Amino acid sequence: MENTSMNGNMEEEEFEGIEERDPERNPMNEPLLKRNRTLSSNPLALVGAKVSYIESLDYEINENDLFKQDWRSRSRCQVLQYIFLKWLLAFLVGLLTGIIATLINLAVENISGYKLLAVVEYIQQERYLIGFLYFTSTNFILTFIASILCVCFAPTAAGPGIPEIKAYLNGVDTPNMYGANTLFVKIIGSIGAVSAGLDLGKEGPLVHIGSCIASLLGQGGPDNHKIKWKWLRYFNNDRDRRDLITCGASSGVCAAFRAPVGGVLFALEEVASWWRSALLWRTFCSTAVVVVVLRAFIELCHEGKCGLFGEGGLIMFDVSNVAVSYNVMDIIPVAIIGILGGVLGSLYNYLLHKILRVYNLINQKGKIYKLLLSLSVSIFTSACQYGLPFLVKCTPCESSSLQEQSSSCPTNGKSGNYKQFNCPNGHYNDLATLLLTTNDDAVRNIFSTNTPHEYQPYSILIFFTLYCILGLITFGIAVPSGLFLPIILIGSGYGRLLGIIMKPYTNIDHGLLAVLGAASLMAGSMRMTVSLCVIFLELTNNLLLLPITMIVLLVAKTVGDSFNPSIYEIILHLKGLPFMDADPELWMRNLSVGELIDVKPSVISFRGVEKVANIVEALKNTTHNGFPVMDDDVEFEIVKLHGVILRAHLIKVLKKKWFLKEKRRTEEWEVREKFSWVELAEREGNIEDVGVTKDEMEMFVDLHPLTNTTPFTVLESMSVAKAKILFRHVGLRHMLVVPKYQVTGVCPVIGILTRQDLLAYNILSVFPHLAKSKGREKRN
């Protein structure tokens, strides 16, 4: 067995207080992508503000002898029980997500409602300074609670969580993303941050909450208190956990928008990298349960049992009773909205990318800087929301003109399109209607139909400019935050403004143009089309909007794709998560997998019956997760491939000290007496925790029963593009490369490809000349 270092570049580094020797890790003071003639399969990545290992997940079924024996011995009743439990877990994911989403909505609406009522009372008494101090201090406290929880207890709860979920379903393990602490902080932090009036939504956090619920149910609870029931342990593997987290992500979108079909399509289009019909049914079951729970609570709240929560808390824009009329010429303003959405969406992504890089530098300085950044944004937001309405003139209510301005405006008080603010009776402040309210109410107000004269162009322009600024500076602070609602607010602002400008040229209602503006900006920034179209149709409850919505989304996405990637891809890159795209680069067809193997260290393999000392040495000196297992074919005098054994299984063998004094094959009963397939499916253990004596080092281990005998292999002549498609679509972690011809006495495996080897930026760092052909392809 030969250990080959990477260009002799082996250094000892300190990582989280533990010094480990890792020949495949780049030094911390060097860039992640080193331009040398070697491929690293174990890079470092930033998750939050901590440097951590990023590993791949084992989605492939490990078909070893124990797995085959387990499935052969299962009765029909046991198989049905396994399927029933899958559906039961999908049902529970939807149920718990719906309940938690409702509780979050109740808390946000009541906390924000009573806060705003108190502020309005101070303003009516013309105690403006007291009102400002009360408004700012309340938002400050709520932001402090949300931020201190994220900073001190669960740093991974900050942000939306969708990029990490997308990476997980792509096959990347995102550490500490689905624990009980993260779930608790995400719930409380979302309530505090949204109630504080920050320019963020609870939609992204709800997706993360649904995924946390799914993960905890699948593994039997938190890490320290797992339920050890035999049948529940069957789901404690990467493959089944992936399916459950997909159900949780779709349930979160459904809970945010009350859009069950949109939630399923969001998981299919945006977050899931692998799909099948059975998973489609289970995600649909989860979202259906969420809708039932939300509808039940809404009916209960209509009876006045939920405080200030009525229909609020759920972004709803019902235009089912509104006559939607447009003609062929209206396609021109619709196309203009789509083009603006693509341009502004790509510009938003570019500016947010720059701001997040600055925030990353600030957050790395320590917890106090994270906290101060969040609180500074809160104070600025509160000052703008409270002070800017004083800049606009009061507008008389339409009903008050008939009554000599003696009556109050309709819905003047708690919610609706009229906020009196500092205006006399019979007048309202249209900017206060949009700013001094909850974010969900602001969306409903600006989406309102048959209101062509309620908002002044000057007020809409201030609203649009403010939320452009707040949308850029708020995302990235240490609180749970979603991108959906800030983008909806920005898009609806310029959509409504375009409606005012193009009023002589189109018959489309201003509220509908605000909806189209929000859809175009979301497509221009997030690059979603099908799921977004269905979500907006379920929100508007009107199929007549389907044609123009589709046009807007297609135009906005096409324009946005010509400038930069989607916002989630940008965040994935900033966090260093090795996400594998669906489509390979064209220049990858000019490179073979054999050429990639040539610049990698020599493969480390084991014999079918291997010495304990060799196993321990390989595990301590490398970070490889899989090792080929070879056998000698005496008849043909060649070395044949038996399969691949995982690192976790080798550690399990060393922990249980399943050693042999002589070099021999074990019997089937010996293996089943010591291991079970369910136990091997669970990932745990570290080589540093294993103690092996000097005498045990000279003993042997039979690797045949634990080896996956059906690994995916490709010929060395296959193109990298084709290998990448296979790798992603099947959900692999290891891909063995074999030679075209078998030579006597030579190892039948010339190398192993991993996720890092197939990423475009890693390949270009090794083969810089390919960047020139990449540029030519773009020009063509």
- The CATH number of whichever domain residue 285 belongs to comes to 1.10.3080.10
Per-residue confidence at 316, pLDDT binned at 50, 70, 90? low
Question: Strands, E, within 413-489: which ranges?
Answer: 427-428
- Overall average pLDDT of the 91-119 stretch: 92
**388/477 same-domain check:** yes
Q: 592 and 671, same structural domain?
A: yes
* Average pLDDT for the chain: 83
Q: Which two tokens stand for residue 62?
A: 């490990």
Q: Which of 480, 545, 543, 544 is nearest to 518 (CA)?
A: 545
In contact, 160 and 77? CB cutoff 8 Å: no
Write down the pLDDT at residue 266: 94
Which one-letter DSSP state was computed for residue 580? P
Nearest to 643 by CA among 239, 61, 64, 67: 64
* Range of lowest pLDDT (80-84, 720-724, 743-747): 743-747
Looking at the domain assignment, is residue 71 inside a domain? no
Is 704 contained in some domain? yes
* Residue at token pair 């060799």: 614
- Please tell me whether residues 689 and 626 are part of one structural domain: yes
Residue 51, pLDDT score? 36
Same domain, residue pair 108 and 233: yes
Q: Residue 600 and residue 578: Cα distance in Å, rounded?
A: 18
The answer to whether the CB of 112 falls within 8 A of the CB of 119 is no
At residue 136 the predicted structure's pLDDT band, cuts being 50, 70 and 90, is very high
**Looking at residue 4, what is its pLDDT?**
37
Tokens in use for 276?
A: 């099948």
Mean pLDDT calculated for residue range 233-253:
88
Distance, CA of 365 to CA of 377 (rounded, Å): 18
Question: 12 and 94 share a domain?
Answer: no
Q: What is the mean pLDDT of residues 144-169?
A: 93
Mean pLDDT of 515-521: 93
Q: Which two tokens stand for residue 8?
A: 């002799």
CA–CA distance, 591 with 718 (Å, rounded to integer): 8
Higher pLDDT, residue 515 or 685? 515
**Strand positions, DSSP E, 413-513:** 427-428
Please give the Cα distance from 286 to 55 (Å, whole number).
29
Question: Is residue 658 pLDDT above 50, yes or no?
Answer: yes
- Find out whether 359 and 369 touch, Cβ atoms under 8 Å: no
Integer Cα distance of 288 and 290 in angstroms: 5
Sign of the CA dihedral 762, 765, 767, 772?
Answer: positive
Q: Alpha-carbon distance 670 to 701, whole Å?
A: 12
Looking at per-residue pLDDT, the higher value among 126 and 287 belongs to: 287
Output the CA torsion sign for 431, 432, 436, 441. negative
The domain boundary, picked from 517, 540, 575, lies at 575
Residue 60 lies in a domain: no
Residue 407 has pLDDT above 60, yes or no: no
CB 235 within 8 A of CB 219: yes
Rounded Cα gap, residues 677 and 652, in angstroms: 12
Position 317 scores a pLDDT of 57
Which residue pairs, CB below 8 angstroms and at least 24 apart, start in 76-84?
81/231, 82/231, 82/234
Show the domain range for 602: 586-772
Q: Could you report how far apart the first and last alpha carbons of the chain are, in Å?
A: 48
Three-state SS for 633?
A: strand
CA distance 298 to 306: 9
**Averaged pLDDT for residues 231-247:** 84
Which of 545, 575, 605 is at the close of a domain? 575
Assess if residue 169 is contained within a domain: yes
- pLDDT of 557 over the 90 cut: yes
Residue 52: the pLDDT is 43
**Which regions of 390-522 does DSSP assign to beta strands (E)?**
395-396, 427-428
Task: Say if residue 41's pLDDT is above 90.
Answer: no
Categorize the per-residue pLDDT at 250 as very low, low, confident or very high, splitting at 50, 70 and 90: very high
Q: In this structure, are strands 395-396 and 606-607 parallel, antiparallel, or unpaired? A: unpaired
Q: How far apart are CA 601 and CA 36, in angstroms?
A: 13
Give the mean model confidence (pLDDT) for residues 138-145: 96
Structural domain count, the chain: 4
Helix, strand and coil percent figures for the chain, each rounded to 5: 60, 10, 35
* Residue 334 · residue 523 · CB < 8 Å: no
Lowest pLDDT segment from 59-68, 210-219, 552-561, 715-724: 59-68
Contact 310, 441 (CB under 8 A): no
- Find where tokens 């162009």 sit: 457
Mean pLDDT, to the nearest integer, of 109-131? 90
pLDDT of residue 632: 83
Domain contains 739: yes
DSSP 429: -
Q: Do 164 and 278 share a domain, yes or no?
A: yes
Per the structure block, which two tokens stand in for 722? Answer: 């084709």
For residue 29, name the pLDDT band (cuts at 50, 70, 90). Answer: very low
Length of the chain: 780
* Single-letter amino acid, residue 344: L
Within 364-448, where are the H helices?
Answer: 367-387, 430-435, 439-447
Residues 571 and 632 in one domain: no
- d(CA 203, CA 255) in angstroms, rounded, equals 8
Phi, psi of 35 (to 5 degrees): -90, 80
The C-alpha atoms of residue 644 and residue 498 are separated, in whole angstroms, by: 61
pLDDT one-digit tens code per residue, 58-78: 888 888 888 887 777 778 888
DSSP element (H, E) containing 766: helix 760-766
DSSP secondary structure code for residue 590 in this structure: G
CATH number of the CATH domain containing 737: 3.10.580.10
* Shared-domain flag, residues 464 and 604: no
Distances in whole angstroms, Cα of residue 301 to Cα of each of 285, 304, 393 = 25, 5, 36
Residues 363 and 486 in one domain: yes
Average of per-residue pLDDT across 564-575: 91
Domain presence at residue 65? no
Residues 87 and 26 in one domain: no
- Report yes or no on 616 lying in a domain: yes
| In contact, 761 and 755? CB cutoff 8 Å | no
> Do residues 211 and 160 lie in contact, with contact meaning Cβ atoms separated by under 8 Å?
no
- Token pair in block for residue 713: 């292999």
> What is the predicted pLDDT for the residue at 774?
59
Domain termination site, one of 300, 317, 347: 300
Mean pLDDT on 159-164: 91
Q: Do 161 and 238 fall into the same domain?
A: yes
- Residue 328 predicted with pLDDT over 90: no
User: C-alpha distances in angstroms, 7 versus 490, 604, 623?
Assistant: 51, 17, 17
Q: Is the pLDDT of residue 288 over 50?
A: yes
pLDDT of the residue at 25: 38
Same domain, 99 and 219: yes
Residue 139 lies in a domain: yes
Looking at residue 6, its pLDDT comes to 33
Residue 323 exposed, middle or buried by CB count within 10 Å (0-12, 13-18, 19+): exposed
Facing residues of 14 across strands?
19
Q: Is residue 198 within 8 Å of residue 143, measured between CB atoms? A: yes
